[in-house]
Copies of this chain bind each other. A is one copy, B any other.
Amino acid sequence: MTSAVERAQTQLRKGVLEYCVLASLRAAPAYGLELATLLGRDRVLLASEGTLYPLLSRLRTQGLVATTWQESTSGPPRRYYELTDDGHAALDAFTATWQPFRDAVDSLLEDPR
């Protein structure tokens, strides 16, 4: 059985990961595996690519990212993802939602001693 901490981490990622991907694209476009290694580096934000691709597909359907294919010298072509205007707006809206949420959790978890 997976540990309680791992289960907790999995649940924490729900809904946050989507916007972490958008945030990762704010500076520059990137392709799938690049995002996977970036977000999965310390195993805090992403556990496997099986999560990422369906998520990217959703973002594309919702119009938050646009994609272009580019050749690679080291394998099959890469699909690059780029923020749209709607994507920027969604990221801003989430940031405004995240901050009060984070503060509410922080203040509850603070040890009241």
The chain A residues found within 8 Å of chain B, CB to CB, are 4-5, 7-12, 14-16, 18-20, 23-24, 26-27, 42, 44-45, 90-91, 93-95, 97-98, 100-102, 104-106, 108-109, 112
Check A101 against B44 for contact (C-beta < 8 Å).
Answer: yes
The one of B12, B14, B20, B93 that contacts A5, using a Cβ cutoff of 8 Å? B93
Copies of this chain assembled into the complex: 2
- The chain B residue sitting closest to A95, CB to CB, is B109
Could you pull out 23 A-B pairs where Cβ atoms are within 8 angstroms?
A4-B90, A5-B93, A8-B15, A8-B19, A8-B93, A10-B15, A11-B15, A11-B18, A12-B15, A12-B16, A12-B98, A12-B101, A14-B14, A20-B108, A23-B109, A44-B100, A44-B101, A45-B101, A91-B109, A98-B109, A102-B102, A102-B105, A102-B106
Cα-based distance from A95 to B5 in the complex (angstroms): 10
Check B4 against A11 for contact (C-beta < 8 Å).
Answer: no
Q: Known contacts A12-B14, A42-B104; can you find 11 more A-B pairs with CB under 8 A?
A: A4-B93, A7-B15, A8-B15, A12-B97, A12-B101, A14-B15, A16-B105, A45-B101, A98-B105, A98-B109, A102-B105
